[in-house]
Amino acid sequence: MHVLVCDDDRATRFAVTRILTQQLGCRTSECEDGVEALQLMSRERFSFVILDIEMPLMSGVEVLELMRESPQTQTLPVVILSNVRDEHAVRHLLKLGVADYVLKPPRAEKLVAKLQRLVATLPQEVRPEQNTGVIRLSPATPAMLIDGNLDYRFFFVNQAQGYGPIQEMDSGASAVARFKASPAQIVFIGGDLGVVNASVLARKLRQLRPDGPLRIVGMLDDGAPEALKKLFDDVMPRTLLPATFREAFRPFVDIPGPLSAFSRVVPDLAAVASSAACQVFGMMFDTEVRPGAPGTGSPATACATIPIQVDERFAVTVGVYLSTETATAVAIKMFGVDEVSDEDRESVATELSNLISGRIHAGFRERGLPSVFGLPVQAPAGPVPVPSPADGVLTRFSLESAGEFSITAVVVDANATDQTKADAPAQNVTTAAETSPLTSPDTEPVAEATPSEAA
């Protein structure tokens, strides 16, 4: 949300701008007279204007009169900030159409309350940006991590550095100094920050970068008070569990490449894959599946892949990887045999990839995406590494059976040349299913992406 603050007094503009940027997350432009205000309005688009009345060159009333005559600014909301209490002037302003009237001096409590009411009435496209955009990390735009705990910093960097560079700071004070020299677009604030605590630090960083982009993520322990959460744009758990960390961290960073583009078309790819696996196993074994624990990473012995072209732009290759144990169990159920051969297990892989890819393909079509389903490709016999949580989006299940299986979806640009495809990093989405005694399906599948996507 971009707001124009027009007042001939610098201290007033300073106070208003501070409230707008820090408490309402607005971007601001300033000017000190009516002429400059109109010039700015003709060049830039504002969500609303805060306008003083008594100003040099052109008064606020004159500015408002001209605004109401111009199609471009006819309906632009104006909040009058003045200490003019003259009834005649106020009536005239109301006649011209002002959204609100705030008396000087601008004080946060009253100004925020009035502006929040105004913002609620604005069209969606001019509502405040929620600082929810993902950031593409690069040497020029690293993430900043602030945590006084060395072990936690080591863990964070170890888990997150695959997405891009991370600047480590061990205290709030050092973070402020570093941020002044080199402001980050995304900042993760943990614990043990020293004198400059999370509250002061978040406020100071916003003050240093009032026009953003800046996204401040608080890393909080369980049971953190609501007041603390409100300091940040987002919160995530300050966890030492790798899978939980990556699941929480992943939404904050943009990963370049086809998977990132595909995730804008099908943001719930992991859920589509989970649903496909649930449906297939439910139909085949009359068994419910539930999210499972991280896999053991033991190699698969049977694998088959199927290409699906989506929206003429993406080539998604769905792969099914089965352990000997799972492939054997499924073969017994599927073929009704006691003795299971390698060939049977390979057939199981092909059949499962057909069924699961078919459901994923249907999922794409249900989302209105043109989807063309290809033929299965049998992997050569022999051990195949089972995708681990480090390989991509991961959805796990437990099944009333034994062993493990995994599903991967490799996304490439369907229109790229073969050479480009070969050069491009593989973009993996992995759905792993771990088979174990059946329990109730009371939790949602876990979805997470991992640093390999950023390769």
Applying CB under 8 A, which residues contact another protein?
7-12, 14-15, 18, 52, 54-56, 83, 104-108, 195, 200, 203-204, 207
Minimum distance from residue 12 beta carbon to another protein (Å): 6
Residue 320 β-bridge partners: 304, 407
Minimum distance from residue 54 beta carbon to another protein (Å): 4
Nearer to another protein, 52 or 234 (CB): 52
Single-letter residue type at 43: R
Minimum distance from residue 105 beta carbon to another protein (Å): 4
Minimum distance from residue 10 beta carbon to another protein (Å): 5
Nearer to another protein, 56 or 370 (CB): 56
Judging by DSSP bridges, how do beta strands 377-378 and 143-146 pair with one another?
A: unpaired
Residue 257 gets the label, from left (phi > 0), alpha (psi -120 to 50) or beta, of: left
Minimum distance from residue 278 beta carbon to another protein (Å): 52
Residues near 220 by Cβ (< 8 Å), separated by ≥ 6? Answer: 228, 229, 235, 236, 237, 238
Q: Which helix (H) or strand (E) holds 18?
A: helix 10-24
Nearer to another protein, 104 or 333 (CB): 104
Minimum distance from residue 90 beta carbon to another protein (Å): 15
In sequence order, what E strands does 369-423 have?
A: 371-373, 377-378, 404-413
Nearer to another protein, 143 or 201 (CB): 201
Q: Rounded CA gap, 345 and 341, in Å?
A: 7
Residue 389 gets the label, from left (phi > 0), alpha (psi -120 to 50) or beta, of: alpha
Pair of tokens at residue 396: 């796990």
Minimum distance from residue 9 beta carbon to another protein (Å): 5
Judging by DSSP bridges, how do beta strands 377-378 and 186-189 pair with one another?
A: unpaired
Nearer to another protein, 52 or 434 (CB): 52
Nearer to another protein, 83 or 439 (CB): 83
Q: Rounded CA gap, 346 and 328, in Å?
A: 10
Minimum distance from residue 11 beta carbon to another protein (Å): 4
Nearer to another protein, 232 or 397 (CB): 232
Nearer to another protein, 152 or 179 (CB): 179
The side-by-side arrangement of strands in the sheet containing 27-31 is 27-31, 2-6, 48-51, 78-82, 100-103
User: Which residue's entry shows tokens 């640009």?
Assistant: 413
Secondary structure of residue 354 in the 3-state scheme: helix
Residue 318 β-bridge partners: 306, 409
Q: Which one-letter DSSP state was computed for residue 454?
A: G
